[in-house]
Chain A
Amino acid sequence: MKRRGVAFYAQLAFTLVVSAFLIVPVGLSMLAGITANYFQGVGSGLTLDWVLKVWQLYSDSIYLSMQIALACLAATLVLGVPAAYGLARRPSAFGRAIEELMVMPVAIPGLATALALIVAYGGFRGFRTSWAFILVGHVLFTLPFMIRSVLAVMSAIDLKMLEEGAASLGAGFARRFFGIVLPNCRSGILAGSLMVVTLSIGEFNMTWLLHTPLTKTLPVGLADSYASMRLEIGSAYTLVFFLMIVPLLIALQLMIRPKGDIR
């Protein structure tokens, strides 16, 4: 085995310190969520009461967030996959312009987008007060991520030739699209889907302006609990949030890993 020099250990120590700097607050916050009384310290005992309390107070927000995330996923799949297909099959100057324009909702602050939505559609009361209003904002924000990740895979495989091959064997458009195009873009669609769900669940910026007291999502509830509840409740909320988002992130990493590694 090769002996490692001082430089290696110095770099390792530096990395660990930086990591600890980032991770310790997260750990402390989660710990606070299961501590009976944070001001007395961990000595006061560990409890799941705060987590239960969060569930009682905010379970509606959590369900709503899930509902919006899944609806957002459905919308970005229906809109984004065909859009990516169109851009991949007919590359043109117009297509490239669209591709560039698509990043706009990501580049523009969420607050500005939200304000624009309210100015334009706030008058439609039924729409303004329904969760669909938030959904529209989320779709605007996440659609580029879906299109980009599907488009990346579609550009990497020779889609045109695969389709010509299928057509020469008698397959019509629908058969080619669902039997050949979609399965071969699976990795891009999966990566895009996880990205969309994760972003939608975590989106605060825009949602904060778009929500009503009856349409509060998970991150909005988090801000609310930080602002007006005991520290332990806010912290327990963070814990709940983590338990939901971390498995998604891990799944995301596993899915977008190149195929060769798994075999």
Chain B
Amino acid sequence: MSTRIRLTACGKTYANRHQGAGGAALEPLDLEIAGGETMVFLGPSGCGKTTLLRLIAGLESPDPGGHVLFDDEDVTFVPIERRKVGMVFQSYALFPNLSVEGNVGYGLKVRGDPPAERRARVDEMLEMMRIGDLRHRAIDQLSGGQRQRVALARALAVQPRVLLLDEPLTALDAKLRDSLRIEINTLLRRLGITSIYVTHDQAEAMTLGDRVVVMSKGRIEQIGRARDIYFKPANRFVAEFIGTMNRLPAIVADGRLSIDGGAALSWAGPDGPIEILFRPEDAVLCAPGRGQLSGVVRASFFLGDRTRVVIDGKSCEIVVETTSRGDFAHGTTVGLRLDPALLLAL
């Protein structure tokens, strides 16, 4: 049975020397991660996501009053070596004095497994990560991708209750990152182990997790499935951190919304000036005068399956993505049609 993780009132305050201004790295928060779930902590650097992970790992202890529970067991004061967590670090933390085999079998040896069992488990792990032919290699003879496979095999060998991954792909190049991400995703789903994955890369977060926790400045901004966070951001930080978002000034009067001085749309909401947000793919390019807005093409980028067009609006820049095959040359005047259902006001 996979382990459920619960945090109650977990905050972390560092003495001044760690954080620039001192103070809270993490404000007290509650969080529940279901058994077998893959949860992603996403946020810019310094947002507290790694601190939160280290609290769960047992590498940091929460400020007084905070508790970490694995199922119904309170592990707040259990040190990491007895928490049975598997951990994968950004720079792998492999032991240079041991071979690949020695690294993968380390946890089993510490636990005191008999040699025959140990060997069988190491074989199984090496095969699972497809690194059987590297078993006698020294760590410094491995590429980055191979190292990360060894690190995963090592963490999973002891059958941990929880798998914690701290930016595991950041040190790899883009192509390797993509393929390893897909592999990790498949693996986590197959094993059904409760996992937490920390990243600052939103594309990674979107494809990997069952749920994503978006964090900034030591606070949780939103928790939800990737599509909720993309389509229904809880606040402006989330809206702007995930994907591209256009922001335009608008005025509501008598149930009509007029954006950036353009034609009005029907709108349910209080009167007054507001700011509306929409995704590049939610605006439709059309002939000038046919939409609510118009502007001049400043630049366009052909991306193959779609074209990204940057338009000079009346008061600001608008980014639009279209699957249309027009070439949207610089200087062309175009119209923009917006669907009120796809507009966000935060």
Which residues of A does B touch, CB under 8 Å? 157-158, 161-162, 164-172, 175, 180, 183-184, 186
Contact = CB atoms under 8 A, between A and B. Distances in A.
What DSSP secondary structure best describes chain A's contact surface? helix
Contacts of B154: 169
A105 to B, nearest CB: 30
A113 to B, nearest CB: 36
B22 to A, nearest CB: 16
Contacts of B79: 167
What class of interface size applies to chain B in its complex with A? 20 to 34
B95 A166 contact: yes
B43 interface: no
Contacts of A183: 97
Contact of A164 (B86, B89, B94): B89
Interface in B173-224: none
Contacts of B107: 169-170
A169 B81 CA distance: 6
A167 B93 contact: no
Given A164-B59, A165-B87, A170 B93 contact: no
Contact of B80 (A157, A162, A167, A175): A167
Nearest to A165: B93
B93 A162 contact: yes
B87 A168 contact: yes
Nearest to A176: B81
B89 A170 contact: no
Given A169-B158, A170-B110, A171-B110, A164 B93 contact: yes
Contact of B106 (A169, A184, A186): A169
Nearest to B157: A169
B110 A161 contact: no
Nearest to B85: A168
B82 interface: yes
Interface of B: 57, 59, 79-82, 84-87, 89, 91, 93-97, 106-107, 110-111, 154-155, 158
Nearest to B151: A165
B97 A186 contact: yes
Contacts of B86: 168
A184 B89 contact: no
Given A164-B80, A180-B97, A170 B91 contact: no
Given A168-B87, A169-B154, A170-B111, 14 more contacts: A161-B91, A164-B59, A168-B86, A168-B155, A169-B107, A169-B110, A169-B155, A170-B107, A171-B81, A171-B110, A180-B95, A183-B97, A184-B95, A186-B97
Contacts of B158: 169-170
Contacts of B84: 170
A175 B84 CA distance: 16
A174 to B, nearest CB: 11
A168 B80 contact: yes
A165 B94 CA distance: 7
A262 B295 CA distance: 67
A165 B158 CA distance: 13
A78 to B, nearest CB: 21
Contacts of B93: 158, 161-162, 164-165
A172 B111 CA distance: 11
B95 A165 contact: yes
Given A164-B59, A164-B87, A170-B158, A157 B96 contact: yes
A167 B107 CA distance: 9
A184 B87 CA distance: 20
A101 B291 CA distance: 76
Contacts of B85: 168
A170 B93 CA distance: 15
A211 B270 CA distance: 96
Nearest to A93: B17
